[in-house]
Amino acid sequence: MDFASIFGLIGGIAAILITILVSGDLMGYVDIPSIICTFGGTIAMTFMAFPVKKLQEGFAALKYVFKYTETDAEYVIKSIIDLANIARKEGLLALEEAAQQLKDNFLQKGILLIVDGTDPELVRNILETELSFIEERHKTNQGVYEFMAAIGPGFGMLGTLIGLINMLANLSDPSTVGPNMAVAIVTTLYGSIIANVFCNPVINKLKIRSSQESLMKEVMLEGMLSIQAGENPRIIEEKLKAFMSPKLRSMLEMQKEPKEGEE
């Protein structure tokens, strides 16, 4: 569970509600026609802009904002080094049994391609193609929320224009100008909430998730090709650490130190 996402969403909504309650009446910010125009219009145009299957994938991706298990870099590097040691001692064919124990499908697929004797360049092309499709799928999922972030404020403005037209049509009654103006402006508020309280944070979190996953798969790819090339496990480990941040490298080294002291 990503408590940062939950805290951020609740905190953002709370900040708006507290501001409203301190400065005015909450019910004054609730207008059914404005809600229908802004939220209903945004959802309707999103359905128009994307195929149903893409919408289903995009909405399903929302769960990764709040619940996500990040691929552990330590696990990835350890798995690859273990596979490298097996290949070095017993040969590449011995990796088939070890591959069945792997949790990551991408890593398992690559190892099985190596076991089958696939040309290294073909292995790279196959896995890079799969990685490209994963990244493209992630971009499409993000695109659903990017569209909503763009169209939501637009419908908020449309609602404001509709409210202003109604206000101008009733200028003969000065007592209606203030309430009509307030209703007109509240739709702009709704549009801003769609973009800034929900869609833009979701987009940013999904981009971070995608970047993390792509990095781990690039680490796996380089590790598998190094195993196929017969490189020394220690060299492979150092090569893979180059993908990591200095902080993560230090953590990996600290985790190794006790084990080395025990030997």
Cα separation, 4 vs 205, in Å, equals: 10
pTM for the whole structure: 0.83
Q: What is the pLDDT of residues 169-196, one digit of tens each?
A: 877 777 777 777 877 889 999 999 999 9
| DSSP 3-state of 231 | coil
Q: List Cα–Cα distances, 196 to 31, 51, 74, 119, 146, in angstroms.
A: 20, 25, 35, 49, 11
CB-CB contact of 212 with 71 (8 Å): yes
- pLDDT score, position 261: 45
Mean pLDDT of 205-230: 91
Q: What is the pLDDT of residues 16-30, one digit of tens each?
A: 999 888 877 888 888
